[in-house]
Structure 1
Amino acid sequence: MAKHTFNAEVTKLLHLMIHSLYSNKEIFLRELISNAADALDKLHLLTLTDEKYKGFGFEPKITITIDVIEKRLIISDNGIGMDEVELVENLGTIAKSGTKSFLENLSGDIKKDAQLIGQFGVGFYSAFMVADKVEVVSKKAGDDKTWIWRSSAEDEFEIDEAVRESQGTDVILYIKKDNEEFLNEYRIKEIVKKYSDHIPYKIFLKIGDKEEQINRASALWKLSKNEIKEEEYKEFYKTISHDNNDPLYWIHTKAEGTLEYTTLFYIPSVRPIDLFRADYEPGVKLYVKNVFIMDDKELLPVYLRFIRGIIDSEDLPLNVSREMLQHNTILAKIKKSSVKKILTELKKLKNHDREKYIKFWELFGKVLKEGLVSDFENRETLLELMLFKTSKSDEYIDFETYIKNMKENQKSIYYLIGEKELKDSPLLDRFKKEEMEVILFNDEIDSFVIPSITEYKEKKLKSVSSTEVDEDFENTKIDDEKYKDLIEAIKKPLKEKVKDIRITSRLVDNPACLVFDKDDPEFQTYIMLKQMGHFDAKEPKAVLEINPEHEVFTKMVLKNDYSLANEVAEVIYNEARVLEGMEIEDAAKFAKSLNTILSKALEK
């Protein structure tokens, strides 16, 4: 017998399970049945594709045994099984992607934390919500030895040799006294009916000599829509996603013709915790003729990584490998059609259930935007799906609504990218005066995505922080000669910091603003590059545009007094930076300039 210590993450999980106040303890059975089904999936595929396993007399099934005398509940399968090393790796450590995120998201609120369990493939440990001791007896297919893993959920677990006639796994739960409801025949039937009715393998309930099948064992996605109740769709989602929340929406499609396949896609109602991780877990499983093949990131594009569900093809070979996925024409066609179907359904949702679509957008809009720079084939549809707020509206609108609201003389669609408080930007001065609406983009990804969209429905998109918008306005005639001395005085202390200093008529209430030449990257693009790890990216030099009619400048020009020009230049430049979400370049110098101006003002 060998003793092992749980790693720190498992210890933390076990503590969570043992002390969980989670009211929905019954989900432990869903998790263990799901694990058993995964083990059957793996062996089922091998018996069809691997010569080594084709001789197995394999009739996949899951058996739940109630042992009232010993107060035990046993979940058995005749799947792939585990050897000694796998028992240690799978039940003593958490090596699964996203563990760090899982631990970071533990809040201390046990009810909330317990709901995260299944999302990271650690549902096995939910057994300790109802059991004070758990044993796992397992024999790997093709091996001679059987092993037993046992733990009372303290710091240690032990592994020893055991006896089991055939391959597979028994998970033996010694039920706690206050959880003996889970030794009741009708309670177990109720839970299996609720969560696992459509596991595509037979589930039997055994009590003494009596054994009966207690689930339909039919793949839910293969049934026609009118055979499936809404509650069944929801519970099946929970089984495949390990999410205890109802899905927000689902899309069930059966294609017949040149290609035969079925898809059942779900949109979650909460964000998967690894949504923004490069090592996110794929949420879509590939089946061929009802046989599970794999879950893989290649099944849908990255920008649809929030989707959970099933693709089941009648035309793919059973031995399709991960390497073949990228080059298989059948799968490529299924993927292409699936993407179009998902986007079309989202468009319907947007048009017919705005409240639900807004919830979807707030959850996954940021991810969907990634498709604008990666999926050019569907770009028009993706643009139609976009929602945003504007300088005039705190409610979400789309491009169609924006165009309907455009002023009669408005030539372009205007937008501003930046931090959250964009409505205070001096760049909006002229647009407010002209009563023109400006789209406000403040997601981190916007600075990377939005500049790549040059037009929508033949209307050009223009950034109001670019000099390009000047082309759209009839600028008020400004006597440059009149402000020649002012420009020179302001330019001198800022010559190394800005690309140029110009007089502008775009400002009304503010003294100055920073803009970028239309061929230069904007500041937010620079920030995005830095966040992506391009640490050699250089901050672009902006053009400082000044409002000659602001009293700061009119007084200087009127008096022909530029003695405070250095200090004024420093203050207005940094003020413009702050208003565009940039940092003050030299806080000490800025403070000194501000204090000098204040001191002079107080002398009067």
Structure 2
Amino acid sequence: MSTDSGHTFQVDLRGLVDLLSHHLYSSPKVYLRELMQNAVDAITARRQLDASAPARITIRTGVGGGIQVEDSGVGLTEADVHTFLATIGRSSKRAEDGGLDLSAARQDFIGQFGIGLLACFVVADEITVVSRSARDAGAQAVEWRGRSDGTYQIKTLPPGTVAQPGTVVTLVPRGDGSEWLQAGRVLRLARHFGSLLRYDVEVVDKFGDVAKVNDTPAVWDRPYGSPLARREALAGYAKSVFDFTPLDTVDLDIPLVGLKGVAFVLPTPVHPTKRSGHRVHLKGMLLSDQAQELVPDWAFFVSCVVDTTGLRPTASREALYEDETLAAVREAIGERIREWLVGLAASDLALLRRFIDVHHLAVKALARYDDRLLALLLPWLPFETTDGNVSLDEFARAHPVVLVTQTVEEFRQVAPIAASAGLGVVNGGYVYDRELVQRLPEIRPGVTVADLDPETVSAHLDTVDPAAELAAAAFLARARAVCDKFDTDVALRSFQPVGVPAMLVDNREARHERRRAELSADADELWAGILGSLGSTAPRAQLIVNHLNPLIRKIADIGDAALSETAIEALYGQALLLSRRPLRPADHALLNRSFIGLLEFAAHAASGNAGPGSQSADAQGDI
């Protein structure tokens, strides 16, 4: 005879549901994961009693507007129901004496029954559980019906009502939860969470159509007829999961934590600050598809899919708990990726070249801390140099003294002149490059690395014959007067290439002082005073005029003072553009003024009139 009794949860159910939906879980969709976890744990418990017991999970949609999840697991007695739902968080794993074995449960089970079931109230107004225990052949089935108002009822069902051990959970949706129980979404969620579950899982819609959820074993654990067939299968899996075809794959196997899976090498560059999200399955159930903490920061060029039994989840079971075990796994995965790179260098240079072409930034990040990889991959890593984009190893063979700039701007200033002077300069302005160049002597003894400042380049330029400099004295005096307004000195030198009429160089101290002066001019009285007190005497920028350039010789012979000054301003502006440093408003005005001035002189010359007078020149300053 059946019995029916009413009870109240020993928790504030409404508060618990609010906690679960707004603070613990990221989305209501986890309700299905919790139901599937309970089903998997129940089957695992039954298999420990009977290794030949059936193992299946069936999810039915369109059942009274809700869903039904049936498993062939160990089932529950009435006492179990009271224990696992009145005391939230208990596990249904039993010790040999019939008591609870919580420590073993944590190793063999995914979740905790009570919280897992109550989490369904996030989308359901009523939950019904019908279960028959497999531990006692004569046990009667029991029905548990819980409501979102915090009450539940337990009913013992007549013998024969439920033919086989197992559990059926039925959800009746709440008003705002029905969308999560629709047939299409349920199937997508089941495949999202349960694609690697070891037991058969299927979804049956209201028309009786059956859709398989999982396809076991995992793609990396299946037998294949050839290595090529395996590579193609893994590539197809990556395409379906991540929507890209990998450049290569790296097998991951860490027995200590029961971790197996694959790291897929991205086929396109990715910014180092944009870390990939990795899919982590815990005992087959998806824990997270955004587990960035799984791999080292430098391995941003891979996306991983793994299944593990030994890593610890957070309370929400949506991320990995950061502990010593996870740190050890992260290091082990990093070492496996290093081994893959070493293997490429030894056996597949074509693939290595393709990888470095795409992910040289990642390799440089790793090589900073790994001497073995630095020595191994140095011949392949590209750097921007005065010899073009070449490997650092090749560049060092041509230049025993390697000069490195601190910024891209410095390199842009000096590269053409340094190349003509035979200097070997590496652009150290890109991330990691300067640090790697400075480590070059450790790998290649006999090579010297030194910092380069633009002033170093000017010291390598040829001086001009004193007679030639004396002949250009009037021009140089006028040029110094014009450039003094820009806080710049002028020097006459001979250098290649001849086509460069002038070069503007300044050192870091000069740039710092110029920036301080700009900020001081724009600041209020208080900050202007503070910035003014920080001022110092720094070397000024220098406009180096190329005596070999034919245009310079023509400008030096101009007798018209106004035209000469305009030409010198244009010369300074052109050198300013070649330096590629940021232009200030005053620089833009200079370029505009000199350009318009030269056009006016050209127009007057074409008409046969004298050049523009001082009045016209003054007007140009307002343009």
TM-score (norm 1): 0.54
Query: What residue in structure 2 maps to residue 284 of structure 1?
Result: 278
Kindly report which structure 2 residues correspond to 1:189-338, keeping only aligned pairs within 5 A, or say none. Answer: 198=196, 202-204=200-202, 215-221=214-220, 229-241=230-242, 243=243, 245-255=244-254, 261-270=259-268, 282-287=276-281, 290=284, 292-294=286-288, 295-312=290-307, 315-318=310-313, 328-338=323-333
Among candidates 162, 165, 172, match of residue 183 of structure 2: 172
Q: Flag structure 1 segments of 5+ consecutive residues without an equivalent.
A: 1-34, 50-58, 68-73, 80-138, 149-160, 175-181, 183-187, 527-535
1:345-374 per-residue CA deviation (whole Å, 9 max, x = no partner) reads 34654676566555545554456656688x
Higher RCO structure, 1 or 2 (CA under 8 Å, sep 6+): 1
1:238 is matched by which residue type in structure 2?
Answer: K
Among candidates 394, 411, 414, match of residue 427 of structure 1: 414
Kindly report which structure 2 residues correspond to 1:478-489, keeping only aligned pairs within 5 A, or say none. Answer: 478=464, 482=470, 486-489=475-478
Q: Do the aligned partners of residues 453 and 263 (structure 1) sit closer, same or farther apart at CA in structure 2, a change above 3 Å counting?
A: same
Give the SS at the match of 1:266: strand
In structure 2, distance between residues paired with 1:307 and 1:39: 30
Query: What residue in structure 1 maps to residue 462 of structure 2?
Result: 476
2:391 is matched by which residue type in structure 1?
Answer: D
Kindly report which structure 2 residues correspond to 1:418-497, keeping only aligned pairs within 5 A, or say none. Answer: 418=408, 427-433=414-420, 446-458=429-441, 459-460=447-448, 466-469=454-457, 473=460, 475-478=461-464, 482=470, 486-495=475-484, 497=486
1:512 is matched by which residue type in structure 2?
Answer: A
2:482 is matched by which residue type in structure 1?
Answer: P
- Residue 313 of structure 2 contacts residue 320 of structure 2 at CA under 8 Å; is this kept in 1? no
In structure 2, distance between residues paired with 1:506 and 1:427: 12
Q: Flag structure 2 segments of 5+ consecutive residues without an equivalent.
A: 1-26, 42-53, 72-116, 127-147, 149-167, 174-179, 442-446, 517-527, 609-623
Q: Do the aligned partners of residues 45 and 503 (structure 1) sit closer, same or farther apart at CA in structure 2, a change above 3 Å counting?
A: farther
Kindly report which structure 2 residues correspond to 1:405-424, keeping only aligned pairs within 5 A, or say none. Answer: 406=398, 410-412=400-402, 418=408
1:6-27 per-residue CA deviation (whole Å, 9 max, x = no partner) reads xxxxxxxxxxxxxxxxxxxxxx
Give the SS at the match of 1:143: helix
In structure 2, distance between residues paired with 1:281 and 1:78: 39
- Residue 369 of structure 1 contacts residue 449 of structure 1 at CA under 8 Å; is this kept in 2? yes
TM superposition shift of 1:309 = 0.6
1:250-302 per-residue CA deviation (whole Å, 9 max, x = no partner) reads 11132457x76445211223467xx58x7x57422345555554443333344
- Compare CA radii of gyration and give the structure with the larger one: 2
Query: What residue in structure 2 maps to residue 529 of structure 1?
Result: none
Q: Do the aligned partners of residues 598 and 213 (structure 1) sit closer, same or farther apart at CA in structure 2, a change above 3 Å counting?
A: closer
1:512-547 per-residue CA deviation (whole Å, 9 max, x = no partner) reads 223342667799x99xxxxxxxxx999x98543332
- Residue 287 of structure 1 contacts residue 311 of structure 1 at CA under 8 Å; is this kept in 2? yes
TM superposition shift of 1:321 = 8.9
TM superposition shift of 1:399 = 1.8
TM superposition shift of 1:247 = 1.7
Q: Do the aligned partners of residues 356 and 231 (structure 1) sit closer, same or farther apart at CA in structure 2, a change above 3 Å counting?
A: same
In structure 2, distance between residues paired with 1:363 and 1:60: 46
Q: Do the aligned partners of residues 140 and 210 (structure 1) sit closer, same or farther apart at CA in structure 2, a change above 3 Å counting?
A: same
Q: Do the aligned partners of residues 574 and 205 (structure 1) sit closer, same or farther apart at CA in structure 2, a change above 3 Å counting?
A: same
In structure 2, distance between residues paired with 1:61 and 1:567: 88
- Residue 415 of structure 1 contacts residue 439 of structure 1 at CA under 8 Å; is this kept in 2? yes
Q: Do the aligned partners of residues 392 and 332 (structure 1) sit closer, same or farther apart at CA in structure 2, a change above 3 Å counting?
A: same
Query: What residue in structure 2 maps to residue 153 of structure 1?
Result: none
In structure 2, distance between residues paired with 1:363 and 1:76: 48
- Residue 265 of structure 2 contacts residue 301 of structure 2 at CA under 8 Å; is this kept in 1? yes
Give the SS at the match of 1:253: strand
- Residue 490 of structure 2 contacts residue 542 of structure 2 at CA under 8 Å; is this kept in 1? yes
In structure 2, distance between residues paired with 1:142 and 1:166: 8
- Residue 40 of structure 1 contacts residue 77 of structure 1 at CA under 8 Å; is this kept in 2? no
In structure 2, distance between residues paired with 1:75 and 1:237: 31
Query: What residue in structure 1 maps to residue 591 of structure 2?
Result: 590
Give the SS at the match of 2:121: coil
- Residue 340 of structure 1 contacts residue 378 of structure 1 at CA under 8 Å; is this kept in 2? no
1:473-518 per-residue CA deviation (whole Å, 9 max, x = no partner) reads 5x43445764665554323333353564444455432012233426
Task: Work out the percentage of aligned pairs sharing the same amino acid.
Answer: 16
In structure 1, distance between residues paired with 2:67 and 2:510: 64
Q: Do the aligned partners of residues 435 and 298 (structure 1) sit closer, same or farther apart at CA in structure 2, a change above 3 Å counting?
A: same
Q: Do the aligned partners of residues 330 and 290 (structure 1) sit closer, same or farther apart at CA in structure 2, a change above 3 Å counting?
A: same
Q: RMSD of the alignment, in Å?
A: 6.0
In structure 1, distance between residues paired with 2:384 and 2:69: 53
In structure 1, distance between residues paired with 2:557 and 2:204: 97
- Residue 77 of structure 1 contacts residue 170 of structure 1 at CA under 8 Å; is this kept in 2? no
Query: What residue in structure 1 maps to residue 391 of structure 2?
Result: 398
1:410-460 per-residue CA deviation (whole Å, 9 max, x = no partner) reads 5215679659xx9xx67344455456776678xxxx545444445252245
- Residue 248 of structure 1 contacts residue 268 of structure 1 at CA under 8 Å; is this kept in 2? yes
Query: What residue in structure 1 maps to residue 521 of structure 2?
Result: none
Query: What residue in structure 2 maps to residue 512 of structure 1?
Result: 502
- Residue 346 of structure 1 contacts residue 385 of structure 1 at CA under 8 Å; is this kept in 2? no
Q: Do the aligned partners of residues 144 and 360 (structure 1) sit closer, same or farther apart at CA in structure 2, a change above 3 Å counting?
A: closer
1:339 is matched by which residue type in structure 2?
Answer: G
Query: What residue in structure 2 maps to residue 87 of structure 1?
Result: none
Give the SS at the match of 1:218: coil
- Residue 63 of structure 1 contacts residue 77 of structure 1 at CA under 8 Å; is this kept in 2? yes
- Once the two structures are overlaid, the 10-residue window that deviates more, 344-353 or 566-575, is 344-353
Q: Do the aligned partners of residues 476 and 171 (structure 1) sit closer, same or farther apart at CA in structure 2, a change above 3 Å counting?
A: same
Give the SS at the match of 1:165: strand
Query: What residue in structure 2 maps to residue 386 of structure 1?
Result: 381
Query: What residue in structure 1 maps to residue 119 of structure 2?
Result: 141
Q: Do the aligned partners of residues 500 and 211 (structure 1) sit closer, same or farther apart at CA in structure 2, a change above 3 Å counting?
A: same
Q: Do the aligned partners of residues 364 and 594 (structure 1) sit closer, same or farther apart at CA in structure 2, a change above 3 Å counting?
A: same
Give the SS at the match of 2:119: coil
1:551 is matched by which residue type in structure 2?
Answer: P
In structure 1, distance between residues paired with 2:284 and 2:169: 29
